[in-house]
Structure 1
Amino acid sequence: MNTPDAPLPGTLFVVAAPSGAGKSSLVNTTLAKEPGIALSISFTSRAPRPGERHAQHYHFVTKAEFEAMIAAGDFFEHALVHGDYKGTAKQSVMPQLLAGKDVLLEIDWQGARQVREKVPDSVSVFILPPSKEALQQRMRNRGQDSEETIARRLAAAREEMSHYDEFDYVIVNEHFDAAAAELRSIFVAHRLRREAQARRHAALIRDLLA
Protein backbone atom coordinates (compact mmCIF):
# COMPACT_ATOMS: atom_id res chain seq x y z
CA MET A 1 0.00 0.00 0.00
CA ASN A 2 1.63 3.23 -1.16
CA THR A 3 1.54 6.42 0.87
CA PRO A 4 -0.34 9.15 -1.02
CA ASP A 5 1.34 12.46 -1.79
CA ALA A 6 -1.74 14.47 -0.78
CA PRO A 7 -2.38 15.23 2.93
CA LEU A 8 -4.11 12.32 4.63
CA PRO A 9 -7.62 12.81 6.07
CA GLY A 10 -6.45 11.42 9.44
CA THR A 11 -3.47 12.59 11.51
CA LEU A 12 -0.55 10.31 12.28
CA PHE A 13 0.88 10.99 15.74
CA VAL A 14 4.31 9.56 16.61
CA VAL A 15 5.52 9.24 20.21
CA ALA A 16 9.08 8.12 20.93
CA ALA A 17 11.24 7.92 24.06
CA PRO A 18 14.16 6.00 25.50
CA SER A 19 13.35 2.83 27.44
CA GLY A 20 12.30 3.78 30.98
CA ALA A 21 10.99 7.26 30.19
CA GLY A 22 7.38 6.22 30.83
CA LYS A 23 6.17 6.44 27.23
CA SER A 24 3.66 3.59 27.33
CA SER A 25 2.06 4.71 30.58
CA LEU A 26 1.70 8.27 29.28
CA VAL A 27 0.24 7.11 25.98
CA ASN A 28 -2.24 4.71 27.59
CA THR A 29 -3.43 7.34 30.09
CA THR A 30 -3.82 9.95 27.37
CA LEU A 31 -5.62 7.67 24.91
CA ALA A 32 -8.13 6.72 27.62
CA LYS A 33 -9.25 10.37 27.47
CA GLU A 34 -8.92 10.63 23.67
CA PRO A 35 -10.86 7.63 22.28
CA GLY A 36 -10.81 9.17 18.80
CA ILE A 37 -7.14 8.20 18.38
CA ALA A 38 -6.34 4.57 17.55
CA LEU A 39 -3.14 3.02 18.89
CA SER A 40 -1.29 0.97 16.30
CA ILE A 41 0.05 -2.32 17.71
CA SER A 42 3.62 -2.92 16.58
CA PHE A 43 5.19 -6.19 15.51
CA THR A 44 8.32 -7.42 17.32
CA SER A 45 10.64 -10.41 17.08
CA ARG A 46 11.52 -10.36 20.79
CA ALA A 47 9.95 -12.71 23.32
CA PRO A 48 7.03 -11.41 25.44
CA ARG A 49 7.93 -9.95 28.83
CA PRO A 50 5.96 -10.98 31.93
CA GLY A 51 2.38 -9.71 31.63
CA GLU A 52 2.57 -8.92 27.90
CA ARG A 53 -0.11 -10.36 25.63
CA HIS A 54 -0.04 -11.04 21.90
CA ALA A 55 -2.04 -8.51 19.82
CA GLN A 56 -2.54 -6.34 22.91
CA HIS A 57 0.97 -5.09 23.67
CA TYR A 58 2.69 -6.34 20.50
CA HIS A 59 2.21 -8.78 17.65
CA PHE A 60 4.91 -11.28 18.65
CA VAL A 61 6.50 -13.10 15.71
CA THR A 62 9.76 -14.97 15.17
CA LYS A 63 12.79 -13.28 13.67
CA ALA A 64 12.36 -15.35 10.50
CA GLU A 65 8.70 -14.31 10.22
CA PHE A 66 9.63 -10.65 10.71
CA GLU A 67 12.34 -10.83 8.05
CA ALA A 68 9.87 -12.46 5.65
CA MET A 69 7.49 -9.53 6.23
CA ILE A 70 10.35 -7.08 5.51
CA ALA A 71 11.11 -8.90 2.26
CA ALA A 72 7.43 -8.73 1.30
CA GLY A 73 7.33 -4.96 1.91
CA ASP A 74 4.69 -5.31 4.63
CA PHE A 75 6.08 -2.66 6.98
CA PHE A 76 5.26 1.02 7.23
CA GLU A 77 8.44 1.38 9.29
CA HIS A 78 10.78 -1.04 11.03
CA ALA A 79 14.08 -1.04 12.87
CA LEU A 80 16.48 -3.30 14.71
CA VAL A 81 16.26 -2.34 18.41
CA HIS A 82 18.43 -3.95 21.13
CA GLY A 83 19.04 -6.89 18.80
CA ASP A 84 15.36 -7.45 18.02
CA TYR A 85 13.13 -6.19 15.23
CA LYS A 86 10.24 -3.79 15.83
CA GLY A 87 7.94 -2.41 13.18
CA THR A 88 4.53 -1.13 12.15
CA ALA A 89 2.64 -3.03 9.46
CA LYS A 90 1.12 -0.92 6.67
CA GLN A 91 -2.30 -2.49 7.15
CA SER A 92 -2.30 -1.25 10.76
CA VAL A 93 -1.98 2.41 9.74
CA MET A 94 -2.91 3.48 6.23
CA PRO A 95 -6.54 2.24 6.01
CA GLN A 96 -7.39 4.14 9.21
CA LEU A 97 -5.68 7.35 8.08
CA LEU A 98 -7.35 7.20 4.68
CA ALA A 99 -10.71 6.76 6.44
CA GLY A 100 -10.12 9.99 8.37
CA LYS A 101 -9.15 8.39 11.68
CA ASP A 102 -6.19 9.54 13.78
CA VAL A 103 -3.53 6.94 14.55
CA LEU A 104 -0.76 6.95 17.16
CA LEU A 105 2.52 5.08 16.82
CA GLU A 106 4.74 4.22 19.81
CA ILE A 107 8.09 3.76 18.10
CA ASP A 108 11.76 4.65 18.42
CA TRP A 109 13.60 7.51 16.73
CA GLN A 110 14.67 5.33 13.78
CA GLY A 111 11.08 4.42 13.02
CA ALA A 112 9.99 8.03 13.50
CA ARG A 113 12.51 9.14 10.89
CA GLN A 114 11.09 6.63 8.39
CA VAL A 115 7.55 7.80 9.17
CA ARG A 116 8.41 11.45 8.53
CA GLU A 117 9.79 10.51 5.11
CA LYS A 118 6.52 8.76 4.18
CA VAL A 119 4.10 11.13 5.94
CA PRO A 120 5.68 14.61 6.19
CA ASP A 121 2.65 16.09 7.95
CA SER A 122 2.81 13.58 10.81
CA VAL A 123 3.11 15.05 14.32
CA SER A 124 6.00 13.77 16.44
CA VAL A 125 6.58 13.92 20.21
CA PHE A 126 9.70 12.90 22.14
CA ILE A 127 9.52 12.12 25.86
CA LEU A 128 12.55 12.72 28.09
CA PRO A 129 13.15 11.55 31.67
CA PRO A 130 13.80 14.26 34.29
CA SER A 131 17.35 13.00 34.97
CA LYS A 132 19.81 10.18 34.29
CA GLU A 133 19.26 8.92 37.82
CA ALA A 134 15.48 8.77 37.38
CA LEU A 135 15.88 6.87 34.11
CA GLN A 136 18.20 4.33 35.72
CA GLN A 137 15.89 3.86 38.70
CA ARG A 138 12.86 3.32 36.50
CA MET A 139 14.72 0.61 34.60
CA ARG A 140 15.65 -1.11 37.87
CA ASN A 141 12.11 -0.83 39.24
CA ARG A 142 10.86 -3.06 36.43
CA GLY A 143 12.66 -5.98 38.05
CA GLN A 144 12.87 -7.70 34.66
CA ASP A 145 16.42 -7.00 33.49
CA SER A 146 19.90 -7.88 34.70
CA GLU A 147 22.44 -5.18 35.57
CA GLU A 148 24.25 -5.95 32.32
CA THR A 149 21.02 -5.42 30.38
CA ILE A 150 20.31 -2.19 32.27
CA ALA A 151 23.79 -0.86 31.48
CA ARG A 152 23.25 -1.68 27.80
CA ARG A 153 19.84 0.01 27.82
CA LEU A 154 21.26 3.14 29.47
CA ALA A 155 23.92 3.41 26.77
CA ALA A 156 21.23 2.96 24.11
CA ALA A 157 19.06 5.59 25.84
CA ARG A 158 21.81 8.20 25.53
CA GLU A 159 21.97 7.54 21.79
CA GLU A 160 18.17 7.68 21.47
CA MET A 161 17.91 10.95 23.43
CA SER A 162 20.48 12.61 21.18
CA HIS A 163 17.80 12.59 18.44
CA TYR A 164 15.24 14.61 20.45
CA ASP A 165 15.76 17.60 18.14
CA GLU A 166 14.26 15.73 15.19
CA PHE A 167 10.80 15.88 16.81
CA ASP A 168 8.09 18.55 16.75
CA TYR A 169 7.42 18.51 20.51
CA VAL A 170 9.39 17.50 23.62
CA ILE A 171 7.87 16.55 26.99
CA VAL A 172 9.87 16.00 30.19
CA ASN A 173 8.15 13.27 32.21
CA GLU A 174 8.98 14.47 35.72
CA HIS A 175 5.45 14.67 37.13
CA PHE A 176 3.30 12.04 35.43
CA ASP A 177 -0.07 13.84 35.55
CA ALA A 178 1.42 17.04 34.16
CA ALA A 179 3.23 15.17 31.38
CA ALA A 180 0.03 13.31 30.45
CA ALA A 181 -1.86 16.60 30.29
CA GLU A 182 0.85 18.08 28.06
CA LEU A 183 0.69 15.11 25.71
CA ARG A 184 -3.08 15.34 25.47
CA SER A 185 -2.88 19.09 24.79
CA ILE A 186 -0.73 18.37 21.73
CA PHE A 187 -3.32 15.94 20.37
CA VAL A 188 -6.25 18.27 21.07
CA ALA A 189 -4.59 21.40 19.65
CA HIS A 190 -3.54 19.65 16.44
CA ARG A 191 -7.02 18.24 15.88
CA LEU A 192 -8.45 21.77 16.22
CA ARG A 193 -6.33 23.22 13.39
CA ARG A 194 -8.32 25.12 10.80
CA GLU A 195 -7.60 22.63 8.01
CA ALA A 196 -8.74 19.67 10.10
CA GLN A 197 -11.83 21.44 11.40
CA ALA A 198 -12.78 22.60 7.90
CA ARG A 199 -12.79 18.98 6.72
CA ARG A 200 -14.53 17.69 9.86
CA HIS A 201 -17.28 20.33 9.86
CA ALA A 202 -17.62 21.05 6.15
CA ALA A 203 -21.41 20.72 6.18
CA LEU A 204 -21.79 22.98 9.22
CA ILE A 205 -19.54 25.66 7.72
CA ARG A 206 -21.43 25.57 4.42
CA ASP A 207 -24.71 26.00 6.29
CA LEU A 208 -23.41 28.82 8.47
CA LEU A 209 -22.07 30.72 5.48
CA ALA A 210 -25.09 30.19 3.24
Structure 2
Amino acid sequence: MSSDGLSGPVWRGKRRGVMIVLSSPSGAGKTTLAKRLLSQNPDLVLSVSATTRKPRPGEVDGVDYHFLSEDEFKAKIEAGDFYEWAKVFDHYYGTLQDTVEDALNDGRDLVFDIDWQGARSLAAAAPDDVVRVFILPPSMAMLRQRLDKRAQDSDEVITGRMARAREEISHWHEYDYVIINDDFARALEKLDLVLHSERFKRIRHPWVEGFVEALMKEELPPRRS
Protein backbone atom coordinates (compact mmCIF):
# COMPACT_ATOMS: atom_id res chain seq x y z
CA MET A 1 0.00 0.00 0.00
CA SER A 2 1.30 3.45 -0.88
CA SER A 3 1.87 6.38 1.51
CA ASP A 4 -1.45 7.91 0.52
CA GLY A 5 -3.29 4.84 1.76
CA LEU A 6 -4.18 3.72 -1.76
CA SER A 7 -2.94 0.81 -3.79
CA GLY A 8 -3.62 0.23 -7.45
CA PRO A 9 -2.35 0.01 -11.01
CA VAL A 10 0.26 2.25 -12.54
CA TRP A 11 -2.36 4.63 -13.98
CA ARG A 12 -2.94 6.22 -10.60
CA GLY A 13 -1.77 9.82 -10.57
CA LYS A 14 0.00 11.80 -7.89
CA ARG A 15 -1.94 12.80 -4.79
CA ARG A 16 -1.87 16.41 -3.63
CA GLY A 17 -0.40 16.85 -0.18
CA VAL A 18 -2.27 18.02 2.91
CA MET A 19 -1.37 20.63 5.52
CA ILE A 20 -2.05 19.32 9.04
CA VAL A 21 -2.17 22.32 11.38
CA LEU A 22 -1.81 21.64 15.11
CA SER A 23 -2.65 24.24 17.75
CA SER A 24 -3.03 24.12 21.53
CA PRO A 25 -2.23 26.08 24.66
CA SER A 26 1.34 25.66 25.86
CA GLY A 27 1.70 22.41 27.80
CA ALA A 28 -1.16 20.51 26.14
CA GLY A 29 1.24 18.21 24.27
CA LYS A 30 1.02 19.59 20.73
CA THR A 31 4.74 19.59 20.00
CA THR A 32 5.31 16.09 21.42
CA LEU A 33 2.37 14.75 19.40
CA ALA A 34 3.73 16.40 16.25
CA LYS A 35 7.16 14.82 16.76
CA ARG A 36 5.71 11.34 17.29
CA LEU A 37 3.41 11.72 14.29
CA LEU A 38 6.43 12.65 12.19
CA SER A 39 8.49 9.73 13.50
CA GLN A 40 5.86 7.14 12.53
CA ASN A 41 5.07 8.73 9.14
CA PRO A 42 8.37 9.09 7.23
CA ASP A 43 6.54 10.74 4.32
CA LEU A 44 5.29 13.53 6.59
CA VAL A 45 7.52 16.59 7.04
CA LEU A 46 7.52 19.46 9.50
CA SER A 47 6.89 22.85 7.93
CA VAL A 48 9.90 25.08 8.56
CA SER A 49 8.92 28.65 9.41
CA ALA A 50 10.89 31.79 8.65
CA THR A 51 11.91 34.04 11.52
CA THR A 52 13.93 37.16 12.27
CA ARG A 53 15.16 35.94 15.64
CA LYS A 54 18.76 34.81 15.99
CA PRO A 55 19.55 31.08 15.85
CA ARG A 56 19.87 29.39 19.23
CA PRO A 57 22.79 27.03 19.91
CA GLY A 58 22.44 23.92 17.79
CA GLU A 59 19.79 25.35 15.45
CA VAL A 60 20.43 24.98 11.73
CA ASP A 61 19.19 27.33 9.02
CA GLY A 62 16.68 25.59 6.78
CA VAL A 63 16.14 22.79 9.30
CA ASP A 64 14.85 24.48 12.45
CA TYR A 65 13.93 27.81 10.83
CA HIS A 66 14.70 29.88 7.79
CA PHE A 67 16.62 32.66 9.53
CA LEU A 68 16.12 36.05 7.85
CA SER A 69 17.07 39.60 8.65
CA GLU A 70 14.19 41.96 9.42
CA ASP A 71 14.71 43.72 6.09
CA GLU A 72 14.60 40.40 4.23
CA PHE A 73 11.44 39.37 6.06
CA LYS A 74 9.67 42.67 5.37
CA ALA A 75 10.64 42.45 1.70
CA LYS A 76 9.00 39.03 1.50
CA ILE A 77 5.88 40.44 3.18
CA GLU A 78 5.70 43.15 0.50
CA ALA A 79 6.21 40.54 -2.22
CA GLY A 80 3.37 38.39 -0.85
CA ASP A 81 5.68 35.44 -0.22
CA PHE A 82 4.02 34.33 3.04
CA TYR A 83 0.92 32.24 3.59
CA GLU A 84 0.79 33.80 7.05
CA TRP A 85 3.06 35.87 9.25
CA ALA A 86 3.00 37.56 12.65
CA LYS A 87 5.20 39.58 14.97
CA VAL A 88 5.66 37.85 18.32
CA PHE A 89 7.79 39.33 21.12
CA ASP A 90 9.71 41.66 18.79
CA HIS A 91 10.44 38.98 16.21
CA TYR A 92 8.69 38.07 12.97
CA TYR A 93 7.54 34.54 12.14
CA GLY A 94 5.93 33.31 8.94
CA THR A 95 5.18 30.41 6.58
CA LEU A 96 6.82 30.71 3.16
CA GLN A 97 4.35 30.00 0.39
CA ASP A 98 6.71 28.62 -2.27
CA THR A 99 8.23 25.88 -0.10
CA VAL A 100 4.79 24.73 1.06
CA GLU A 101 3.30 24.77 -2.44
CA ASP A 102 6.24 22.79 -3.84
CA ALA A 103 5.69 20.10 -1.20
CA LEU A 104 1.93 19.91 -1.78
CA ASN A 105 2.35 19.66 -5.56
CA ASP A 106 4.87 16.87 -5.01
CA GLY A 107 2.33 14.92 -2.94
CA ARG A 108 4.08 15.47 0.37
CA ASP A 109 2.19 16.22 3.59
CA LEU A 110 3.25 18.89 6.06
CA VAL A 111 2.54 19.34 9.75
CA PHE A 112 2.42 22.84 11.26
CA ASP A 113 2.93 23.65 14.93
CA ILE A 114 1.35 27.12 15.09
CA ASP A 115 -1.13 29.17 17.12
CA TRP A 116 -4.79 29.86 16.29
CA GLN A 117 -3.97 33.11 14.49
CA GLY A 118 -1.55 31.39 12.14
CA ALA A 119 -4.01 28.53 11.66
CA ARG A 120 -6.78 30.97 10.76
CA SER A 121 -4.55 32.75 8.21
CA LEU A 122 -3.44 29.46 6.62
CA ALA A 123 -7.01 28.22 6.35
CA ALA A 124 -8.07 31.48 4.69
CA ALA A 125 -5.16 31.32 2.22
CA ALA A 126 -5.48 27.61 1.33
CA PRO A 127 -8.90 26.33 2.46
CA ASP A 128 -8.76 23.16 0.35
CA ASP A 129 -5.33 22.12 1.63
CA VAL A 130 -5.53 22.92 5.34
CA VAL A 131 -6.84 20.60 8.06
CA ARG A 132 -6.91 22.14 11.52
CA VAL A 133 -6.58 20.05 14.69
CA PHE A 134 -6.86 21.56 18.17
CA ILE A 135 -5.27 19.72 21.10
CA LEU A 136 -7.03 20.21 24.45
CA PRO A 137 -5.70 19.36 27.91
CA PRO A 138 -7.94 17.14 30.08
CA SER A 139 -8.21 19.97 32.64
CA MET A 140 -6.69 23.35 33.45
CA ALA A 141 -5.20 21.84 36.62
CA MET A 142 -3.42 19.19 34.52
CA LEU A 143 -2.19 21.87 32.12
CA ARG A 144 -0.66 23.82 35.02
CA GLN A 145 0.89 20.63 36.37
CA ARG A 146 2.52 19.86 33.03
CA LEU A 147 3.98 23.38 32.82
CA ASP A 148 5.34 23.06 36.36
CA LYS A 149 6.97 19.71 35.54
CA ARG A 150 8.90 21.25 32.68
CA ALA A 151 10.91 23.29 35.19
CA GLN A 152 11.82 25.62 32.34
CA ASP A 153 9.90 28.76 33.28
CA SER A 154 9.48 31.04 36.25
CA ASP A 155 6.20 31.21 38.17
CA GLU A 156 5.51 34.53 36.48
CA VAL A 157 5.95 33.05 33.00
CA ILE A 158 3.76 30.04 33.86
CA THR A 159 1.05 32.34 35.21
CA GLY A 160 1.17 34.25 31.94
CA ARG A 161 0.93 31.03 29.91
CA MET A 162 -2.10 29.93 31.92
CA ALA A 163 -3.78 33.29 31.32
CA ARG A 164 -3.20 32.97 27.57
CA ALA A 165 -4.40 29.36 27.58
CA ARG A 166 -8.04 30.35 28.08
CA GLU A 167 -7.86 32.79 25.16
CA GLU A 168 -6.31 30.11 22.93
CA ILE A 169 -8.84 27.45 23.96
CA SER A 170 -11.71 29.84 23.16
CA HIS A 171 -10.92 29.33 19.45
CA TRP A 172 -11.40 25.54 19.52
CA HIS A 173 -14.58 25.78 17.42
CA GLU A 174 -12.61 27.11 14.42
CA TYR A 175 -10.92 23.72 14.01
CA ASP A 176 -11.92 20.68 11.94
CA TYR A 177 -10.95 18.21 14.65
CA VAL A 178 -10.53 18.44 18.43
CA ILE A 179 -8.48 15.89 20.38
CA ILE A 180 -8.36 15.78 24.18
CA ASN A 181 -4.87 14.71 25.23
CA ASP A 182 -5.81 12.81 28.38
CA ASP A 183 -3.93 9.71 27.21
CA PHE A 184 -0.95 10.30 24.92
CA ALA A 185 -1.12 6.99 23.03
CA ARG A 186 -4.83 7.40 22.36
CA ALA A 187 -4.41 11.03 21.30
CA LEU A 188 -1.61 10.04 18.91
CA GLU A 189 -3.75 7.27 17.42
CA LYS A 190 -6.58 9.74 16.78
CA LEU A 191 -4.19 12.24 15.19
CA ASP A 192 -2.77 9.53 12.93
CA LEU A 193 -6.32 8.58 11.87
CA VAL A 194 -7.01 12.21 10.98
CA LEU A 195 -3.93 12.33 8.76
CA HIS A 196 -4.72 9.09 6.93
CA SER A 197 -8.42 9.78 6.46
CA GLU A 198 -7.68 13.25 5.07
CA ARG A 199 -5.36 11.69 2.51
CA PHE A 200 -8.33 9.83 1.03
CA LYS A 201 -10.40 12.93 0.29
CA ARG A 202 -11.45 13.30 -3.33
CA ILE A 203 -10.07 16.84 -3.58
CA ARG A 204 -6.54 15.54 -2.93
CA HIS A 205 -6.71 13.20 -5.92
CA PRO A 206 -7.15 15.42 -9.00
CA TRP A 207 -6.08 12.54 -11.25
CA VAL A 208 -9.38 10.74 -10.56
CA GLU A 209 -11.31 13.11 -12.84
CA GLY A 210 -9.31 12.01 -15.86
CA PHE A 211 -9.56 8.38 -14.83
CA VAL A 212 -13.37 8.59 -14.52
CA GLU A 213 -13.63 10.26 -17.94
CA ALA A 214 -11.62 7.43 -19.48
CA LEU A 215 -13.67 4.89 -17.58
CA MET A 216 -16.93 6.30 -18.91
CA LYS A 217 -15.62 6.20 -22.50
CA GLU A 218 -14.33 2.67 -22.24
CA GLU A 219 -15.88 0.29 -24.75
CA LEU A 220 -16.58 -3.20 -23.56
CA PRO A 221 -15.66 -6.15 -25.77
CA PRO A 222 -18.55 -8.20 -27.18
CA ARG A 223 -19.93 -10.83 -24.84
CA ARG A 224 -19.04 -14.37 -25.76
CA SER A 225 -22.00 -16.37 -26.89
TM-score normalised according to structure 2 size:
0.75
Root-mean-square deviation over aligned CA pairs:
3.0
Q: Give the paired residue count.
A: 202
SS in 2 for 1:93: helix
- Matching of residue 189 in structure 1 with residue 181 in structure 2: no
Aligned to 1:97: 104
Matched with 1:143 is: 151
Provide structure 1 residue ranges, at least 5 long, that are not aligned to the other structure.
1-7
State the percentage of identical aligned residues: 43
Structure 1 position 64, deviation (Å) = 5.2
Q: Aligned residue for 1:30?
A: 37
Per-residue CA distance 1:141-191 (angstroms, 9 max, x = gap): 332222222222222221111111000000111111111111000001111
Instruction: Give the aligned partner of residue 69 of structure 1.
Output: 76
SS at match of 1:56: coil
Q: Which has the larger radius of gyration?
A: 2
- Equivalent-residue separation in structure 2 for 1:75 and 1:32 (angstroms): 27
1-side partners of 2:155 and 2:174: how far apart? 30
Query: Is 1:126–1:169's contact at 8 Å kept on the other side of the alignment?
Result: yes
SS of equivalent residue, structure 1 residue 100: coil
Q: Which runs of 5+ in 2 are unaligned?
A: 1-14, 219-225
The normalised TM-score by structure 1 is: 0.80
**1:157 corresponds to 2:168:** no
3-state DSSP of counterpart to 1:171? strand
For 2:27, the equivalent position in structure 1 comes to: 20
Partner of 2:6: none
